[in-house]
Amino acid sequence: MLRRLIARHRSWPLATPFRISRGVKHSAEVVVVEIRHGGIAGRGEAVPYARYGETVDSVLGQIGLAKGAIASGINRAQLDELLSPGAARNAIDCALWDLEANRTGSSVAALLGRTPPPALASAQTIGIDTPERMARAAAQVATLELIKLKVDACDPGTRIRAVRQAAPDARLIVDANESWTLDLLRELQPVLAEARVDLIEQPLPAAQDEALSGFVSATPICADESCHVAADLPRLRDRYQAVNIKLDKTGGLSEALRLLKAAREGGFRVMVGCMVCSSLGIAPAFHVARDAEFVDLDGPLWLRRDRDDGVRMRDGRLHPPAPGFWGGAGVAPSQPPDRRVHPGASA
């Protein structure tokens, strides 16, 4: 029996605008893949990311080109050979994990030899704004264990200090999204130390991060845009002390798990992050994030309305979706119908 693949674009409006150094988001534009086999389905979600040359149409096009191979029954290892790392492979890879769990009556956790993933202390992100507004936003989440703040090259020190004053006890991640220079990073060392920042995320552009070779920072530096897959790690060794694993970069849970293992063996600290997406894009990441020092999976918390039975923040911890939402171990809940089926992506 052939498998049937359906890919759709779905737009999720945000509750408030999400500002980073590269621009402002007002909605999460995601691609959802469903693979059906014998009346059983597996689902995956991915976010096409312009920074990596992706659009909704390009990702749907990649998925459409893979539909024949998916219908014939390729496995996840063969998928890695068919598609390069990125959003298209992520959506399909996660759908294949979900399908296997559902077909075997098991769960992804069990397939990995693990217990179900626990609730995690996830960061909540404060987007770029005036220092006063960022401080107010920080005060609202000051009791959380971990806060992440977005900055650019425009007076980041004042914003960092404002957030720290409003949230004196939280661990802080500062994410510059490639907007700094090495000179600015040097200049900010006293501020980072004074504010007790735990991690600086991707301060320099990925194409220029060789400048970090040999640089000793008061705060560990984490590679985000510079690190996609396990093969990237050797060249990052003398530049970064941590890596940010995102399934949309690795091309799915399969490579994310390989990157996690390689990072651990290479002495890197591990952060697991996400794009702004629904809970369907976050559920697989729990299986990597459970072993990370830094967790940043708040993407669905930015949505005006998330999927039913998705993640929930309670008592400062992000709880996984309900059983059966993704990854087996239950009856998958019904979902609102997705719209805008791509004409070339169903088989």
Residues belonging to the active site: 150, 246
Query: How far is the C-alpha of 174 from the C-alpha of 125, rounded, in Å?
Result: 10
Nearest to 59 by CA among 86, 28, 26: 86
Per-position DSSP letters for 21-88, written without gaps between them: TTEEEEEEEEEEEEEEETTEEEEEEE---GGGT--HHHHHHHHHHTHHHHHHT--HHHHHHHS-SSHH
Residues in the chain: 347
Nearest to 35 by CA among 70, 65, 5, 72: 5
Query: How far is the C-alpha of 124 from the C-alpha of 313, rounded, in Å?
Result: 10
Per-position DSSP letters for 227-294, written without gaps between them: --SGGGHHHHTTT-SEEEE-HHHHTSHHHHHHHHHHHHHTT-EEEE---S--HHHHGGGHHHHTT-SE
**Residue 10, number of CB atoms within 10 A of its CB:** 22
Residue type, 67: K
